[in-house]
Structure 1
Amino acid sequence: MNYWLVKTEPNTYSWDDFVNLGKDHWDGVRNYAARKQMMAMKVDDQVLFYHSVNEKSVVGIAQVVKEFYSDPTTDDDRWVVVDLVPVKPLVHPVSLDQIKNDQRLEEMVLIHNSRLSVQPVKKEEFDVILKLGDA
Structure 2
Amino acid sequence: MPFIKLHAFFKKHRSSFTASQEDHGSALPYRIVTTCRSSEVAHLENLMRKLLANYDVTHQANEPAVQTNLTAITVEVKCSVRERAGLVQLVTRLAQEISVRSVRWESIPQRSARAAKPAYEPSTRGGSPTIQPA
- The question of a shared fold, defined as TM-score above 0.5 by the shorter chain, is answered with no
More helix by share: 2
Scaled by the length of structure 1, what TM-score is found?
Answer: 0.28
Structure 1 or 2, whichever has the larger Rg, is: 2
TM-score (normalizing by structure 2): 0.29
Which structure has the highest strand share of the two?
Answer: 1
